[in-house]
């Protein structure tokens, strides 16, 4: 049997694991990233963590074919270089070359969101789908397109859906991310509170100490109509962006991940109705579900991305 190493380079933790060719994790290992240290010091920890996960797996080194690294930031997949990783302060880091040399195993880089998307397709919510779209609704919005278990590079989180709309962190205005991220929902919640400072939503926020992505759901649970309207508006924008991508990419499955997706069917049920209204008439609707692998998606996907390497 062939095995692959998956590495998820996070801002907080470095996760490594040995994964079999079907996407099962045989062993995993995690260390704090220590992002304030020089890149070559962090590299030593990555190599150490990989060695640890190999040892724990009891898999013969000869059976390990490749190392797949999932990294955020700007990366050059062809040459295995992290061009820029703002969270870690990395710059022009030839990480694949160094890992290959240290372990004598070929190494390859993938975008971390793309790797997570591939993980969901190989072993999670979109298992078996010929084409899948994985959308992460976190601090930002990330997109991953996987067709025939192959990652398609590119990022739709900064697709403008509202020309001249809300300012986005990327510099454009009206991006999908500016509306459909947790940050977008928090901004919509804050605006609703400003307009109605004496309402249940405002009160809920006060009780919680700060507005989070959960505040509006908690207030809605208390029967607040303002909160229900904010959720509805949030879902309208999310459906708009999803419909753009469903019409354009015709995925079989759309999986939603990230903090907001934890709302599950409460989010999915009304979302499906809105998406159906927005997509081309007669189009076979994709399954719209939530991601199931959590942090393991990135680890499994990074490993699966090097299966044919």
- Residues near a copy of itself, by CB under 8 A: 74, 83-84, 143, 147, 152-156, 158-165, 170, 172, 174, 237, 240, 243-244, 247-250, 278, 280, 282
Q: Which of 84, 190 has the CB closer to a copy of itself? A: 84
Q: Which of 94, 277 has the CB closer to a copy of itself? A: 277
**209: exposed, middle or buried (Cβ count in 10 Å: 0-12, 13-18, 19+):** exposed
Q: Are 220 and 201 in contact (CB under 8 A)?
A: no
Distance (Å, whole) CA 108 – CA 303:
9
Q: Which of 248, 294 has the CB closer to a copy of itself? A: 248
Distance (Å, whole) CA 139 – CA 87:
14
Q: Which of 83, 269 has the CB closer to a copy of itself? A: 83
| 3-state SS class at 19 | strand
Closest distance of CB 240 from a copy of itself, Å? 5
Closest distance of CB 249 from a copy of itself, Å? 5
Distance of CA 298 to the CA centre of its chain: 8
Q: Which of 90, 237 has the CB closer to a copy of itself? A: 237
Closest distance of CB 72 from a copy of itself, Å? 14
DSSP characters over 45-74? HHHHHHHHHHHHHT--GGGEEEEEEEE-SE
Closest distance of CB 105 from a copy of itself, Å? 28
Distance (Å, whole) CA 33 – CA 16:
12
Closest distance of CB 290 from a copy of itself, Å? 22
């Amino acid at each position: 049997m062939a095995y692959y190493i998956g590495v998820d380079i996070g801002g907080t933790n470095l996760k490594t694991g040995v994964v079999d060719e079907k996407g099962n994790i045989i062993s995993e290992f995690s260390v704090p990233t220590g992002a304030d240290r020089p890149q070559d010091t962090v590299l030593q920890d990555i190599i150490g963590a990989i060695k640890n996960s190999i040892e724990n797996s009891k898999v013969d080194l000869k059976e390990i074919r490749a190392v797949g690294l999932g990294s955020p930031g700007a990366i050059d997949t062809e040459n295995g270089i992290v061009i820029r990783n703002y969270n870690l302060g990395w710059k022009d880091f030839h990480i694949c070359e160094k890992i290959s040399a240290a372990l004598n195993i070929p190494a390859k880089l993938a975008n971390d969101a793309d790797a997570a998307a591939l993980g969901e397709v190989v072993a999670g919510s979109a298992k078996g789908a010929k084409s899948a779209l994985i959308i992460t609704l976190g601090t930002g919005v990330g997109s991953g397109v996987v067709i025939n278990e192959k990652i398609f590079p590119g990022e739709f989180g900064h697709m403008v859906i509202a020309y001249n709309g809300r300012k986005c962190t990327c510099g454009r205005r009206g991006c999908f991310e500016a509306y459909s991220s947790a940050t977008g929902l928090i901004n919509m919640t804050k605006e609703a509170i400003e307009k109605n400072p004496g309402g249940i939503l405002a009160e809920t926020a006060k009780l919680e100490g700060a507005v989070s992505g959960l505040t509006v759901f908690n207030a809605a649970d208390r029967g607040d109509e303002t909160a229900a309207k904010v959720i509805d508006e949030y879902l309208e924008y999310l459906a708009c962006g999803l419909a753009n991508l469903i019409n354009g990419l015709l995925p079989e499955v759309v999986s939603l991940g990230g903090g907001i997706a934890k709302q599950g069917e409460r989010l999915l049920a009304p979302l499906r109705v809105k998406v159906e209204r927005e997509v081309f008439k007669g189009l076979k609707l994709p399954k719209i579900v939530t991601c199931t692998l959590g942090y393991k998606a990135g680890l499994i996907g990074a490993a699966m991305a090097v299966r044919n390497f």
